[in-house]
C-alpha cells in the first residue's frame, strides 16, 4: 500500500495571509491545504500539524469564527497566528482584551527562553504585526516565549502539548526569519518533506486538460506576467489552435503600453493574440463615477462586455469556448473570495458577472492558487523572456484606480485628529496636515478607507518611517502617510471636483512616464518591486493637481514596504514634473502595507 503523504492543514479564519501560510509550508516541502473553521475533529485527525490563521474578526465579538475545542486536544501540534493565537488563548482559559495600542507594521520581538519553535533565531528578531486585540492572561501551562514593545504576549506556548500562539505573522517576508519559525513547526510536527514544486507546471497542465475537456479557451491578456504565464501554460496544454488571447486597450494603460505589449508578445511567439481598442467605451462607462469600488466594478464589467463583443465579431460558438483569466491568489482573497475574508477591494477579475460565469463552470484560472513570486518562477521555468517575467506588476483596472476622483466636497476632519497628528509630527520636528481625500488600507485583515496625513520637513527616511508607523498605529482617522519632497513644502491644498477623463489620464501618463524614465536612468527600476504614480484631486496655489509616488518592495503583494528613492532621482523627477502642464506638487508615500494597500484605491 502507498504511504500516505504527511500534510499540514491551515484553518482559514478569513485572514489576508491564510493561503500564504499554506504556500509557505509547501515551499518548505510539506503538502499543505486549507480548511474552514467548521472542520470537525475527525476531519482534522489525518493531519500532522494544524495552523490557525489570522482573520478580520475579533474573538471578543459574539459570532466570530470559532473551532471545536476538542481539536486542541487531538495531540497534534497546533500553531495559532494572530486571530488563531487569540483563539487558542481564549479556548484554553486565558484572556484576550482590546489592545490599548493597535500595532501595524514592523516590530522587534524579544525572545524569552529556548523554545523549539524559535530554534536558530536571534534573541531579537524583526516581526510583522497587524492587530488590535491582545492576549492579556496566558492559559494555564502556557509560557511567555516573546514580547514586543506594544505586545507582552507576542509569542506563547505550551511545549508539552506542542501548542503555540504568535501574535505576529511569520508567513510574510517582512518577518525575515518567519520561514525558520515555520520550518521549526514542521520539525515539531515530525513531517516528512515530500512535496515537490518542480512538478507544479506539469500538474497545472494536466488540470487545464481535464477542466477544458474538448473546449477551447479565450484569454484576456493584459500583457503582465500573470496573463502571459497563463497564456503560455494554456497554449502548452491545449495547442495554439485551441487558445485565443485578447488584449483589450481600455484607455487606462500607460504611455504606448498596448502597442508595446502587442509587439513584444508577437515577437516572442504568441501568434494567437488579438487586440481590441475599447478606450472610448471604458471612458464613457466611467464618466461621473467617483467611488473607488464602483469604478472597479464598472471596469471589470466592461472587460466582459468587450470580450463578448469580440467573441461575436470572431463568430465563435459560445458552447465551444470558455473564458480563461490570469487571476492569482491575492485577487481572490482581497476581493473577499474566501468565506471569512473582508473585501479589501474588488479586483477586476472578481466582479459579479465573472463570479457568475465561474459558478457555471465557464472560467478557467490556471494560476488561481499562486502568488506573484510563484508565477514568476513558473514563467522562468517555462522559458519566458526575463523582461516579461520581471516587469513591474500593473493592476487590471490600470490607471483607472490611480486617478483619484472627488465631488469636490471635503469630509469633515475632527479637530482632535488634526491636533493629535500635529503633536506627534511636531515632536519629531515635522509640520503636518490631514489631507481632505481618502484612500484604501488593510488593517487587522479588514478594509479601511481613511485620510492620508501629509508631513513636511527634513528628508530623514528612518525618522519618517517611525513617525508614519506611529501615526497609523495610533490614529483611526489616518491610514496612510505621505511626505512632501520639495523644500518649503506647502501643507495647504484645495479639493476639486474631478473624475476619470482623458485629459487627467494623459496628465498622469506623462508624469508616470517621466518617473519611470528617471528610475531607469538611475538604475533603481530593478530595486523597486512596483511604483504606482497616483493623481490626486488636490490642487496647489497655481491650480495644478498633485501627484503621489508609491515605490514599494514586496515579494507577493500581500505585504509591502515603501522604499526611499535617491535624492538625485527625486530632484530629476521634480524637474521633469515642472515641464508637464497641469502637474503640481509631488508627495512620497511612506506607508507600508499594512496599514495602507499598494494602490490608493
Ligand atoms: P493592493 O493595492 O491591494 O495591490 O495592495 C496588490 C497588488 O495587486 C495589484 N492590483 C490588481 N491587480 N487587478 C489586478 O490584476 C486588480 O483589480 C488589482 N488591484 C490591485 C496592485 O497593483 C498590486 O501589485
pLDDT digits (tens, 9 = 90+) for 112-148: 988 999 999 999 999 998 888 999 999 999 999 999 9
Domain boundary among 362, 397, 432: 397
Helix (H) or strand (E) holding 51: strand 49-52
Pocket of ligand 1 contains residue 347 by CB under 6 Å: yes
Does some domain include residue 1? no
Q: Are residues 454 and 385 in the same domain?
A: no
Residue the block writes with cell 510539506: 30
Count of C-beta atoms within a 10 Å radius of residue 562: 24
Band of the pLDDT at 100, cuts 50, 70, 90? low
Contact 451, 478 (CB under 8 A): yes
C-alpha cell at 133: 486585540
**203-214 per-position pLDDT tens digit:** 789 999 999 999
Residue of 172, 598, 600 to test ligand 1 pocket, by largest number of atoms within 8 Å of CB = 598
Q: What angle do CA 247, 363, 386 make, to 5 degrees?
A: 45
Asked whether residue 566 falls in the same domain as residue 424, the answer is: yes
Q: Please tell me if the CB atom of residue 331 comes closer than 6 angstroms to any atom of ligand 1.
A: yes
| Ligand 1 centroid, distance to 395 Cα (angstroms) | 5
**Residue whose grid cell is 515642472:** 578
Give the mean pLDDT of 157-184. 96
Atom of ligand 1 lying closest to residue 350 CA:
17
Region class of 404: left (phi > 0), else alpha (psi between -120 and 50), else beta: beta
- pLDDT over 50 (residue 2): no
Please choose from 393, 529, 558 the residue to mutate so as to test ligand 1's pocket, defined by most ligand atoms within 8 A of CB. 393
CA nearest ligand 1 atom 13, residue: 396
Q: Is residue 2 part of a domain?
A: no
> Is the four-CA dihedral 473, 478, 482, 488 of positive or negative sign?
negative
Cα–chain-centroid distance for residue 124? Answer: 27
Are residues 226 and 246 located together in one domain of the fold?
yes
Q: Give the global pTM.
A: 0.82
Are 325 and 424 part of one and the same domain? no
Q: Are residues 430 and 563 in the same domain?
A: yes
594 belongs to a structural domain: no
**Is there a catalytic annotation at residue 556?**
no
- Cβ–ligand 1 distance for 597 under 6 Å, the answer yes
* Residue 199: band (very low, low, confident or very high) from pLDDT cuts 50, 70, 90: low
- Is the pLDDT score of 355 beyond 60? yes
Q: What is d(CA 250, CA 255) in angstroms, rounded to the nearest whole number?
A: 12
Cα 229 from Cα 383, distance rounded (Å): 10
Give the least confident one: 21-35, 36-50, 422-436, 515-529.
21-35
What domain range is 177 assigned to? 7-189
Q: What does DSSP say about strands 78-81 and 49-52: parallel, antiparallel, or unpaired?
A: parallel
- Among 70-79, 322-331, 480-489, the least confident range: 322-331
Domain boundary among 379, 397, 415: 397
Q: What is the 3-state secondary structure (H, E, C) of 275-313?
A: EEECHHHHHHHHCCCCCHHHHHHHHHHHHHHHHHHHHHH
Grid cell in block for residue 551:
515605490
Q: CA of 254: how far to CAs of 223, 548, 596, in Å?
A: 12, 16, 23
Q: Do 523 and 459 sit in the same domain of this protein? A: yes
Tell me, yes or no, if 340 is annotated catalytic.
no
Rounded distance, CA 584 to CA 40, Å? Answer: 58
Catalytically annotated residue among 103, 125, 171, 365: 171
Q: Determine if ligand 1 sits within 6 Å of the CB of residue 345.
A: yes
Cα of 219 from ligand 1 centre, angstroms? 19
Give the three-class secondary structure for 178.
helix
Amino acid at each position: 500500500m502507498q504511504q500516505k503523504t504527511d500534510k499540514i492543514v491551515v484553518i482559514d479564519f478569513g485572514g489576508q495571509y491564510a493561503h500564504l501560510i499554506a504556500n509557505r509550508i509547501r515551499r518548505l516541502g510539506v503538502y499543505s491545504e486549507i480548511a474552514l473553521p467548521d472542520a470537525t475533529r475527525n476531519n482534522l485527525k489525518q493531519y500532522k500539524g494544524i495552523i490557525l490563521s489570522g482573520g478580520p474578526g475579533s474573538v471578543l465579538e459574539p459570532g466570530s469564527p470559532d473551532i471545536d475545542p476538542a481539536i486542541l486536544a487531538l495531540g497534534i501540534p497546533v500553531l495559532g497566528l494572530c486571530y488563531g493565537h487569540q483563539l487558542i488563548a481564549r479556548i484554553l482559559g486565558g484572556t484576550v482584551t482590546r489592545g490599548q495600542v493597535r500595532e501595524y507594521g514592523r516590530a522587534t520581538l524579544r525572545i524569552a527562553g529556548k523554545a523549539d519553535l524559535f530554534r536558530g533565531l536571534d534573541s531579537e528578531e524583526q516581526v510583522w504585526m497587524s492587530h488590535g486585540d491582545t492576549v492579556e492572561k496566558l492559559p494555564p501551562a502556557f509560557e511567555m516565549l516573546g514580547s514586543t514593545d506594544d505586545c507582552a504576549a507576542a509569542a506563547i506556548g505550551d511545549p508539552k502539548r506542542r501548542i503555540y500562539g504568535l501574535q505576529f505573522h511569520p508567513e510574510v517576508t517582512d518577518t525575515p526569519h518567519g520561514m525558520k519559525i515555520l520550518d521549526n513547526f514542521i520539525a515539531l510536527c515530525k513531517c516528512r518533506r515530500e512535496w515537490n514544486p518542480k512538478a507544479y507546471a506539469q500538474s497545472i497542465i494536466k488540470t487545464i486538460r481535464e477542466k477544458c475537456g474538448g473546449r477551447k479557451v479565450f484569454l484576456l491578456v493584459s500583457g503582465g506576467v500573470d496573463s502571459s504565464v497563463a497564456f503560455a501554460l494554456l497554449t502548452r496544454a491545449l495547442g495554439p489552435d485551441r487558445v485565443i488571447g485578447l488584449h483589450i486597450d481600455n484607455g487606462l494603460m500607460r504611455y504606448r503600453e498596448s502597442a508595446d505589449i502587442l509587439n513584444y508578445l508577437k515577437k516572442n511567439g504568441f501568434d494567437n493574440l488579438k487586440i481590441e481598442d475599447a478606450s472610448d467605451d471604458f471612458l464613457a462607462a466611467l464618466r461621473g463615477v467617483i467611488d473607488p469600488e464602483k469604478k472597479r466594478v464598472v471596469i471589470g464589467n466592461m472587460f466582459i462586455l468587450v470580450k463578448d463583443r469580440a467573441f461575436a465579431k470572431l463568430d465563435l460558438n459560445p458552447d465551444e469556448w470558455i473564458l480563461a483569466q490570469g487571476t492569482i491568489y491575492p485577487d481572490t482573497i482581497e476581493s473577499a473570495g474566501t468565506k471569512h475574508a473582508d473585501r479589501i477591494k474588488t479586483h477586476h477579475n472578481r466582479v459579479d458577472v465573472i463570479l457568475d460565469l465561474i459558478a457555471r463552470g465557464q472560467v478557467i484560472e490556471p494560476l488561481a492558487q499562486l502568488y506573484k513570486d510563484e508565477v514568476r518562477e513558473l514563467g522562468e521555468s517555462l522559458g519566458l523572456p526575463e523582461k516579461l517575467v520581471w516587469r513591474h506588476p500593473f493592476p487590471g483596472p490600470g490607471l483607472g484606480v490611480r486617478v483619484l476622483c472627488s465631488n469636490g466636497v471635503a469630509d469633515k476632519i475632527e479637530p482632535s485628529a488634526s491636533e493629535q497628528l500635529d503633536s506627534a509630527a511636531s515632536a519629531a520636528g515635522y509640520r503636518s496636515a490631514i489631507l481632505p481625500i481618502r484612500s484604501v488600507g488593510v488593517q487587522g485583515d479588514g478594509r479601511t478607507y481613511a485620510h492620508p496625513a501629509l508631513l513636511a520637513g527634513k528628508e530623514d527616511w528612518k525618522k519618517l518611517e517611525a513617525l508614519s508607523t506611529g501615526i497609523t498605529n495610533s490614529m483611526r482617522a489616518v491610514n496612510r502617510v505621505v511626505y512632501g519632497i520639495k523644500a518649503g513644502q506647502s501643507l495647504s491644498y484645495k479639493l476639486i471636483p474631478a473624475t476619470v477623463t482623458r485629459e487627467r489620464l494623459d496628465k498622469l501618463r506623462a508624469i508616470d512616464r517621466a518617473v519611470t524614465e528617471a528610475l531607469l536612468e538611475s538604475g533603481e527600476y530593478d530595486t523597486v518591486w512596483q511604483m504606482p504614480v497616483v493623481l490626486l484631486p488636490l490642487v496647489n496655489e497655481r491650480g495644478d493637481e498633485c501627484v503621489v509616488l508609491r515605490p514599494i518592495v514586496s515579494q507577493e503583494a500581500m505585504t509591502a514596504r515603501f522604499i526611499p528613492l535617491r535624492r538625485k532621482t527625486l530632484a530629476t523627477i521634480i524637474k521633469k514634473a515642472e515641464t508637464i502642464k497641469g502637474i503640481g506638487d509631488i508627495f512620497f508615500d511612506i506607508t507600508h502595507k499594512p496599514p495602507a494597500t499598494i494602490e490608493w484605491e
